[in-house]
């Protein structure tokens, strides 16, 4: 079975990330043809982003200092490569990307 790593860089997203994680987890539960892991890269947040993400069944990687979007994405992509995922997909952690568009993206894999 193919595998997909969904990478979400996050910086001070405590107000928005909870609902995004819940929607993503609900989506993942419905997938039967693809192994999906959600990976959040907390990029040195000073709010409760890291703690909120830890309450979900996701992998949370933590930067001690803010490395910027590029640094967070690089960490996520490196994680996906090290864990031999077939595909990696990046999403914003603030809900800007519609979870309902994921089936369209997955169909292209």
**Domain residues of the chain, as ranges?**
2-107
Using CA atoms of 17, 40, 95, 44 in order, give the dihedral in degrees to the nearest 10. 70
Assign a CATH topology to domain 2-107. Spore Coat Polysaccharide Biosynthesis Protein SpsA; Chain A (3.90.550)
| Cα gap 26→81, rounded to integer Å | 25
pLDDT at 108: 85
pLDDT at 109: 82
**pLDDT tens digits, one per residue of 40-95:** 999 999 999 999 999 999 999 999 999 999 999 999 999 999 999 999 999 999 99
The pTM score is: 0.94
Beta bridge partners, 5, equal 37, 88
| Cα gap 83→101, rounded to integer Å | 25
pLDDT at 38: 98
pLDDT at 33: 87
For the cut 90, the answer to whether the pLDDT of residue 17 exceeds it is yes
């Amino acid at each position: 079975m193919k595998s997909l790593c969904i990478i979400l860089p996050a910086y001070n997203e405590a107000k928005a990330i909870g609902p995004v994680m819940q929607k993503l987890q609900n989506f993942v539960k419905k997938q039967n043809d693809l192994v999906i892991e959600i990976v959040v890269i907390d990029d040195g947040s000073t709010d409760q982003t890291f703690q909120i993400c830890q309450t979900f069944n996701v992998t949370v990687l933590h930067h001690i200092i803010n490395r910027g979007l590029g640094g967070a994405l690089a960490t996520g992509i490196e994680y996906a490569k090290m864990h031999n995922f077939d595909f990696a997909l990046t999403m914003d952690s603030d809900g800007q990307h519609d979870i309902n568009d994921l089936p369209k993206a997955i169909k292209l894999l």
